[in-house]
Structure 1
Amino acid sequence: MSASPSSAVVAEPDVMTSIVIAAPPSLVYSILLDIPGYPRWISMFVKASASPSGPDGALAVGDALHLALKPAGADKKPFEFSPRITEITPGRVFEWIGALPLGLFTGRHRLEVQAHAEGTRLLHSEAFSGPAPWLCRASGAQWWSANMAKTRANFERANEELKRHAEALHASGQTRTA
């Protein structure tokens, strides 16, 4: 696995959530890297795959993910996108960036695993950049605030689903995903 911090300046996250999971960090991290497994435990994911380029089929910085998600309450077809991995710090950080053409809207999605007295603390965040988010923030657009609240709720739901999945695997004696 490649370990390379992303070189771009990291903005403060627009959405930041955390959860404590009663399972070891190594198990939680392995679940996060099992991209094809996402639809089995994250309800908003319809499809998920990756194009790993690292040794032995491991994910590496620069690899593309292929994701289709339909957040709770969404009444339209799933949103499909192909972000690129920007950071993998083994056992600790998994990050990707997805963007609209011309850099109008970019999202930096970050999952950080930390050891905790009760097992693992997951920090789950997203920082948006580009002209579109900047204009929404600058104008105080209600749409932006409402969208960030929905994004936070979806992250919290995914965190709870990860917690249930990881704790069930840990209770069954599993130490890593397949």
Structure 2
Amino acid sequence: MRFEAGTEIDATPEQVWAVLTDVRRWPEWTASVSRAERGEPGPLTVGATARLTQPRLRPAVWRVTELTEGRAFTWVSATSGVLTRGEHRLLPLPDGRTRVELAIDQSGPLAGPVGWLYGGLLRRYVRTEADGLRRRCERG
């Protein structure tokens, strides 16, 4: 199952990247995350971890598996029977704004039932995150 949301933000990719990768502060701008803790100090890098608590979901530990500085990062979280992959991409627009594309992709033997049970919630959360990121970045 895959859930996607995108938006255009009136801010530079560098400004959006700074907000997006400050994972500990996500609860300040998205209602889809009630608590966020980094597993280690410093900038977000491949191998870095974060523990996210989200309403109506079990807390999950995410590990960064891919990162292109200033442009994209992907992280994964595994539970019994489901591998969840979160994608975060920034695309610079010609007018100095930024297009953000977010996605959650689930695979594994229980991905179908989990998607059926939680698909609506996950779809709302991805949309909430995109909209919250836009509002946070545009207010400076």
- Equivalent AA in structure 2 for residue 157 of structure 1: T
- 1:29-178, aligned counterparts within 5 Å? 29-52=17-40, 57-70=42-55, 74=56, 79-101=58-80, 104-118=81-95, 119-133=97-111, 136=112, 144-145=115-116, 147-169=118-140
CA distance in 1, matches of 2:117, 2:60: 22
Question: Which deviations, in whole Å up to 9, do the C-alpha atoms of 1:7-52 show, x marking residues without a partner?
Answer: xxxxxx7112110011101111111110111111111211112123
SS for the counterpart of 1:43 is coil
- What is the Cα deviation at residue 150 of structure 1? 2.7
Higher relative strand content: 2
CA distance in 2, matches of 1:21, 1:122: 7
Size of the aligned set, in residue pairs, is: 139
Which TM-score applies when normalising by structure 1?
0.71
Moved over 2 A (4+): 143-150
- Equivalent AA in structure 2 for residue 122 of structure 1: V
SS for the counterpart of 2:59 is strand
Which residue of the partner structure matches residue 10 of structure 1?
none
- What is the Cα deviation at residue 145 of structure 1? 4.4
- Equivalent AA in structure 1 for residue 43 of structure 2: A
In the alignment, is the contact (CA less than 8 A) between 2:71 and 2:89 conserved in 1? yes
CA distance in 2, matches of 1:37, 1:97: 19
Percent identity, aligned pairs only, is 24
The runs of 5 or more residues in structure 2 that have no matched partner are none
Change (3 A) 1:144 1:51: closer
Superposition CA RMSD, Å: 1.9
Which residue of the partner structure matches residue 174 of structure 1?
none
CA distance in 2, matches of 1:126, 1:19: 15
SS for the counterpart of 2:133 is helix
- Equivalent AA in structure 2 for residue 158 of structure 1: E
Change (3 A) 1:130 1:37: same
